Amino acid sequence: MALSGGGASAGSRPTAPPIPPSPHLSVEARGEPETALAGVRVAVLNFREPQQFAAGGAEEYAWQVSRHLVAQGASVHFLTAREPGQAAAERRDGIELRRMGNRYLVYLLVPLWLLFHRRRFDVVIDSMNGIPFFSPLVVRRRTAVICLVHHVHDRQFHAFFPTWLARTGCFVEGKVARLLYRGRTTVTVSESSREDLRTRLRWLAPIQVVPNGSPAARPIARRSVPGDPAVVYLGRLVGHKRVERVVALAAELGDGRPGLHVHVVGRGPEAGALAARATELGVADRVHLHGFLTEPDKNAVLARALLNVTASEFEGWGLTVIEAAAFGVPTVAYDVAGLRDSVRDGVTGWLVREGEELADVVDRAIGELSDPVRRAEIQRACRAWASEFTWGRTGATITRLIATELPSGAAAAPARTPDLRLAVGETDPT
């Protein structure tokens, strides 16, 4: 879906104002004491876990929240799908990780597992990745259920599934989930997602926005390397991210900016198609497909980038936008839900508006960044914006939310260490 037409000139971009405090800062950020969760037993239900092939921002969010809850004294079980070669159970970061079923069966097996162990949990965080886990139907009435929704998936269903299946997915995500979770607090990651829940799904439950965090950027000496000036894409290589549009920038801007290189960091099923597209466009020597990189190597690529570019057609937030901003790297993205929340247009990046072309906005951004004074101004704004979002703040807000959801006195209950094993046939890995 291309957005075409004319937009504002570079000269019309505003000067960066001071970065205001995030309207969704946690109790930690406001200086209030955080409530400990000693003895509280939490089940986190998520479609994937961070070490799986197609894991992305939703998995990182669920895992970082789980780690924070463990640090607050909670016992956490993370229930998810199982990829070939993975163990059914393991303990990592203090979290009991349970894997069951493939990408489809997980939605049957996780609720069944939870049904067998429903008396052992005080709280369930049910991550709805388009399809919910139906946890309110299998847990005790007194068990607190928090529904976590990153973004509305209706268009994603139609992009990847046949019509009948897409309509089924939309029905479950909409009418079914709306009624099932109507009495349960919902957490989402941006104002755009909250608005979509209200308007597109007619969501009935109370909604609290708790943005993603981002790891703190460690100083990295920037060095001149082949590939500067660099445009970088960071994220999963899947269809709706439209990474081919980022790859095409090397060709579309080649005449005016022959030294422009595009770096793609991430893994996913589109990797082969992206390599073929770069060859087809004759820019394989200026498109660098890094695949998955370790954290230090990924940060090194980010730190030497001039600009981060994402062409995604929908996001819940834009985790990689903030990750790049922490290194002082601004982002060009489409003006779509989620990304319009994480990119401050003209301040920490540029939004491709209706009627504009991605290549034109990227070219304009590179032009602005060629001015050392303007670039330093944008870098300062990016770092200040990124500093508003930490996983500590995200976890602290979820901790406080859980404490308010629990029955009075539950958070102070003595610690319990139940033997939470899978249904018949599973053994404890420890």
Quote the tokens at residue 103: 């990408």
308 Ramachandran zone, left/alpha/beta (phi>0; psi -120 to 50): beta
pLDDT band at 142 (very low <50, low <70, confident <90, very high): very high
| Mean of pLDDT values over 201-224 | 77
Backbone angles phi, psi at 344, to 5 degrees: -95, 105
The range of the structural domain enclosing residue 149 comes to: 41-213+390-412
pLDDT tens sequence across 362-386: 999 999 999 999 999 999 999 999 9
- Is 61 found in the same domain as 144? yes
The pLDDT of residue 172 is: 84
Q: Is the separation of the CB atoms in 292 and 315 below 8 Å?
A: no
Highest mean pLDDT among 68-72, 157-161, 312-316: 68-72
Q: What is the pLDDT of residue 232?
A: 96
Give the mean pLDDT of 16-30: 42
Cβ atoms of 189 and 317 closer than 8 Å: yes
Q: What is the pLDDT of residue 170?
A: 76
CA distance 117 to 426: 14
Q: Which helix (H) or strand (E) holds 364?
A: helix 358-369
- Let me know: does 138 contact 108? Beta carbons within 8 Å: no
Tell me phi and psi for residue 126, to 5 degrees: -100, 105
Q: Are residues 155 and 97 in the same domain?
A: yes
How far apart, in whole angstroms, are the C-alpha atoms of residue 122 and residue 41?
Answer: 5
Same domain, 221 and 296: yes
Reply yes or no on whether the pLDDT at 274 is more than 50. yes
With respect to residue 7, please indicate whether it lies within any of the assigned structural domains.
no
Q: DSSP 3-state assignment of 190?
A: coil
Same domain, 402 and 355: no
Q: Which pLDDT does position 36 carry in this prediction?
A: 81
Rounded mean pLDDT, 114-140 = 94
Is the pLDDT at 20 greater than 50? The verdict is no
Cα separation, 280 vs 291, in Å, equals 20
**421 occurs within a structural domain:** no
If asked whether residues 308 and 404 sit together in one domain, one would say no
Percent of the chain at pLDDT above 70? 82
CB 147 within 8 A of CB 206: no
**Predicted pLDDT at 313:** 82
Q: Are 184 and 146 in contact (CB under 8 A)?
A: yes
Does residue 396 sit in the same domain as residue 382?
no
Rounded (5°) CA angle 302-253-359: 75
* Confidence class for position 337, pLDDT limits 50, 70, 90: confident
The answer on 190 and 234 residing in a single domain is no
Per-residue pLDDT, 226 = 45
How far apart CA 419 and CA 112 sit, in angstroms, is 17
Name the pLDDT band for 59 (thresholds 50, 70, 90).
very high
pLDDT given for residue 218 in this prediction: 61
Q: Chain-centre distance of CA 349, in angstroms?
A: 18
Q: How confident is the model at residue 159 (pLDDT cuts 50, 70, 90)?
A: low
CA distance 49 to 209: 22
**Is the per-residue pLDDT at 196 higher than 70?**
yes
Neighbours of 51 (CB within 10 A): 12
- pLDDT exceeds cutoff 80 at 334: yes
Residues 293 and 352 in one domain: yes
Flag whether pLDDT at 137 surpasses 80: yes
The type of residue at 194 is R
Residue 194's nearest CA partner among 23, 20, 390 is: 23
Asked if pLDDT for residue 241 goes beyond 80, the answer is yes
Count of the separate structural domains present in the chain: 2
Asked whether residue 152 is assigned to any structural domain, the reply reads yes
Structural domain contains residue 124: yes
- Whether residues 52 and 195 fall in one domain: yes
Tell me, what's the pLDDT at 389? 92
Residues 6+ apart with CB under 8 A from 84: none
Round the average pLDDT of the chain to a whole number and report it.
83
Q: What pLDDT does residue 30 have?
A: 43
Q: Which residues contact 331 (CB under 8 A, 6 or more apart)?
A: 307, 308, 309, 310, 318, 321, 324, 325, 342, 343, 348, 349, 350
Structure tokens at 329: 């790297």
Q: What is the DSSP letter of 27?
A: T
Parallel/antiparallel/unpaired status of strands 186-188 and 144-148: parallel
Strand partners for 352:
334
- Is 71 a residue whose pLDDT tops 70? yes
Using alpha carbons, select from 106, 126, 110 the residue that is nearest to residue 205.
126
Q: At what angle do helices 372-386 and 358-369 cross, to 10 degrees?
A: 110
For residues 63 and 119, give the distance between their C-alpha atoms in angstroms, rounded to a whole number: 23
Confidence bin at 429 (pLDDT 50/70/90): very low
Strand order in the sheet with 41-45: 89-92, 95-99, 75-80, 41-45, 123-127, 144-148, 186-188, 207-209
DSSP state of 176: I
Tell me if 187 is assigned to some domain.
yes
What's the pLDDT score for residue 427?
35
The pLDDT of residue 418 is above 50: no
Name the residue among 327, 333, 294 with its Cα closest to residue 315: 333
**188 and 266 assigned to the same domain:** no
User: Is the model's pLDDT at 345 over the cut of 80?
Assistant: yes
Q: For position 316, what pLDDT does the model report?
A: 79
Q: Which residues pair with 144 in a beta bridge?
A: 123
Task: Give the separation between CA 155 and CA 169, rounded to whole angstroms.
Answer: 10
pLDDT tens string 86-101 = 999 999 999 999 999 9
User: Angle at the Cα of 350 (from 328 to 199), degrees rounded to 5?
Assistant: 115
DSSP assignment letter at 87: -
pLDDT at residue 240 in the model: 81
Please tell me whether residues 331 and 399 are part of one structural domain.
no
Q: Which of 46-60, 154-168, 171-185, 358-372 has the lowest mean pLDDT?
A: 154-168
Q: How confident is the model at residue 157 (pLDDT cuts 50, 70, 90)?
A: low
CATH code of the domain covering residue 340: 3.40.50.2000
